[in-house]
Amino acid sequence: MDLLAYIFEQFINGVQLGSVYALIALGYTMVYGVLRLINFAHGDVFMVGAFTGYFLLSKTRLPLPLVFFFTTLVTSLLGYSIERIAYRPLREAPRISLLITAVGVSLFLEYFLSLKSMFTPNYIPFPRPFEIRTLNVSFLSITNVQATIFLATLFCLIILYFLVYRTKYGKAMRAVAYDKETASLMGINVDKIISFTFVVGAALAGIGGLLYGIAYPQINVFMGIMPGIKSFIAAVLGGVGAIHGAVLGGLLIGISEVFVSAFLSSTLRDGIIFLILLLVLLLRPNGFFGKMIEKV
């Protein structure tokens, strides 16, 4: 029974971590689906979300719902600015130009925020907005931190599905993802839809950064690198462009990482993720739910 309880505990921890990865992966998969761009600055938007939450929780007395709101507002504006300033002028440029620009934006955000006038490259303790409490049900234990992450992630997924599949903007996003040229001929403002996609993806990354800071209360300006890479792997595993695939990939990455750390060694947790990626690319190159893309 003790072993079973331990396995369930690690599973819950894995779902907690995987939920954060899923929120970041959704931004990757949405931007790629619409623009065919791997936005490598997305992990740093996640970092900005964590620092925004840190500032709001440490310097103000705002309730947690308002902290979530202002964090998403800041990261949404950042996502819009990145698309408008860095990516839109290169819309017709070769793909390699966009890729290099994405890396440049990522490095700019990291090193700009590491200036002494802004923050510090060292780790900063993240203030938790509430005391940790544990609810025990039979052999299963869950903390209020984990419950907050699960509920926030579920809420975001419900809103995202409603936005993509039940609104006019969502229909336009899917049309642009399918064929930008035809969508523009049908009266859709492609630039506006692409900006909106960046805004939504950045908002999700900001929520992920805030939740990550609450769950693992130490942050620094380079914290977005590995979660960004792992979330990109999660999007690839699920099939880049598939929302449910990004969620499944994020959960798979999070659970795998936690189980490897718990039962094998923490030094192997990153390696096993890349091994999973290698196997999936060999056996199913388009991911679990991806489709062949004939038009590039």
Count of all residues that appear for the chain in the document: 296
Mean pLDDT in the chain?
86
42-83 residue pLDDT tens: 999 999 999 999 999 988 888 999 999 999 999 999 999 999
pLDDT tens track for 218-271? 898 999 889 988 988 888 888 877 788 889 999 999 999 999 988 887 788 888
Phi-psi region of 112 (alpha: psi -120 to 50; beta: other; left: phi over 0): alpha
pLDDT in the model for residue 118: 66
State residue 296's pLDDT score: 37
Amino acid at 2: D
Sign (positive or negative) of CA dihedral 70, 75, 79, 82: positive
Token code pair at residue 20: 């954060």
Which pLDDT score is estimated for 198?
Answer: 93
Say what the pLDDT of residue 293 is: 46
Position with higher pLDDT, 208 vs 118: 208
Q: According to the model, what pLDDT value does residue 294 have?
A: 42
Is the entire prediction scored with pTM above 0.75? Answer: yes
- In this structure, the strands spanning 124-125 and 134-137 are unpaired
pLDDT in tens, 35-46: 888 888 899 999
The arrangement of secondary structure in 2-283, i.e. its CATH architecture, is Orthogonal Bundle (1.10)
Residue-level pLDDT at 116: 62
pLDDT band at 94 (very low <50, low <70, confident <90, very high): confident
Res 3: pLDDT: 78
What is the predicted pLDDT for the residue at 266?
Answer: 77
